[in-house]
Amino acid sequence: MNRTDAHQHFWRPARGDYGWLQGDEPALAPLRRDFLPEELQPLMQAAGVQKTVLVQAADSVAETEWLLELASQHDFIAGVVGWVDLSRADAVQTLTRLALHPKFKGVRPMLQDLPDANWICRAPRPEAIEALVSFGLCFDVLVQPVQLPFVLQFLRDWPALPAVMDHAAKPPLAEGWHAGWVAPWRRLMGEASQLPNVSCKFSGLLTQLPATERGSVADAVTALRPLWHELLTLFGPERLMWGSDWPVLTLAGSHAEWVAVSEALIGELSPEAQADVWTRNAQRFYGL
């Protein structure tokens, strides 16, 4: 089966615009090095992944331009989701310029890192969102559950904007599937799933698990099965897309391990539905 990775990153810390990597958080130390195409390609080949969507990791247009350069050099990068400050007066001008590149597919404001949880409803210029729609671009939603109510309002206000919840809105799985976060997350994601323009990525979830629940592929499958079933109930296989979240993934496990976990869960679906989650949904959503 041909597979498309709907969510992966490359970075070169020496570029200097990865603010979240520049602190002294010990847990992020393994990520403070170059992660480039030459390292990912053999992992993709082993997993049967032919194409990827390369997603921004820095809040700078310069990084987006660098990602587009990589996409021009590597055929396997089918699309780039970049960063543009949608609140700036020149946002439309910047989007217009970036959209000239055929592999520029959308934007991802780093909402989870912003101090204002309501930034998405308050700050973006309407003409910038209108430009996203008119250029056929997509919107990746990077949030924690606390920001979901504001994102929902934004998505209701812009029903023509295709949007996707990255990493299922990062549910805090380490707190347990019976903790207090579950009911509000389920309700808010349920509201999101009622919006026909909203999809969801099955990605970035191994890093949400406690270490005790990802000691083996079987452990991780057991721990993630309740969440997988929730996402299937809410979005159906026609609006779920698989992503590796490499190299952030490496904080919790290997590329091959996440693929094996995903195969166990996605493999419970019909062949047609499996093809949707592994490949076709990402291709349709991003116009690859």
CATH number of the domain where residue 271 is located = 3.20.20.140
pLDDT at position 168? 96
Looking at residue 62, its amino acid is A
Q: What are phi and psi of 165, to 5 degrees?
A: -80, 110
Domain count, the chain: 1
Would you give the distance in Å from CA 279 to the centre of its chain?
A: 15
pLDDT at 21 over 90: no
pLDDT at position 40? 98
Note the pTM of the prediction, 2 decimals: 0.96
pLDDT at position 62? 97
Residue-wise pLDDT for 131-158, tens only, equals: 999 999 999 999 999 999 999 999 999 9
Q: Is 16 left (phi over 0), alpha (psi -120 to 50) or beta?
A: left
pLDDT at position 24? 79
pLDDT at position 20? 86
Q: Which residue spans within the chain are E strands per DSSP?
A: 3-8, 49-55, 77-82, 104-107, 138-141, 163-165, 198-202, 240-242
Which residues span the domain enclosing 176? Answer: 3-286
pLDDT at 1 over 80: no
CA distance linking residue 235 with residue 273, whole number of Å? 12
pLDDT at position 25? 83
Residue whose tokens read 């920001």: 147
